[in-house]
Chains A and B, each alone.
Chain A
Amino acid sequence: AQSVTQPDIHITVSEGASLELRCNYSYGATPYLFWYVQSPGQGLQLLLKYFSGDTLVQGIKGFEAEFKRSQSSFNLRKPSVHWSDAAEYFCAVVGYYGGSQGNLIFGKGTKLSVKP
């Protein structure tokens, strides 16, 4: 069965510093991968997604992620973090049912805190 692991529960970075959030997935074929952000009281917002093609994916708010099949990873990066990036970040993979999109399978999330 598919699964997603986010090894870091909580990360603190200084404003302006670079950021990398880790995500590892378990899936036999080429996965469909997503990163979502959840701010307090807000719904989940899609940052970026990977389906095929270029393994470096650009998203909104200056985020990018790189798909590495050999490492079963899809790490999220940002070169310079802003205080407004403080939130919880979720990596997810599509669950397959007969070839059509079913549910998303989420990791447990990484909470990002930003120091001034």
Chain B
Amino acid sequence: GAGVSQTPSNKVTEKGKYVELRCDPISGHTALYWYRQSLGQGPEFLIYFQGTGAADDSGLPNDRFFAVRPEGSVSTLKIQRTERGDSAVYLCASSRGLANDNEQFFGPGTRLTVL
């Protein structure tokens, strides 16, 4: 079946603009995660959802970042007033649930460049 998909694959924007990044998880997966991967670093947790609700958003760096999952499937990560430091690859992952042994399946990521 289809894996996790993310759109767009690349996004170039100017400082101060608003961007939306979309994640389409594997069908039937109730848990969805967002990570950010800066150059030369491992992925860093941003937020995760169980169903429609954000179970933990402690990784969001500041209030310019927000994510939603209104119907418990597709999720959108929203970044307001983008800054150059927001440039990174944003990864989405999904899993069958929040049990500890559930594998997280990752999408290919969206590369965000803020000029």
**Chain A interface residues toward B at CB < 8 A:** 4, 32, 36, 41-46, 49, 51, 90, 92, 94-95, 97, 100-109
Contacts and interface: CB of A to CB of B under 8 A. Distances in A.
Q: Is the interface of A mostly helix, strand, loop or mixed?
A: strand
A103 B91 contact: no
B43 A90 contact: yes
Contact of B55 (A41, A44, A102, A108): A102
B100 A32 contact: yes
A43 B91 contact: yes
Contacts of A51: 100-101
Contacts of B31: 101
Interface stretch (B63-71, B79-87, B106-114): B106-114
Given A43-B108, A44-B106, A108 B41 contact: yes
B48 to A, nearest CB: 6
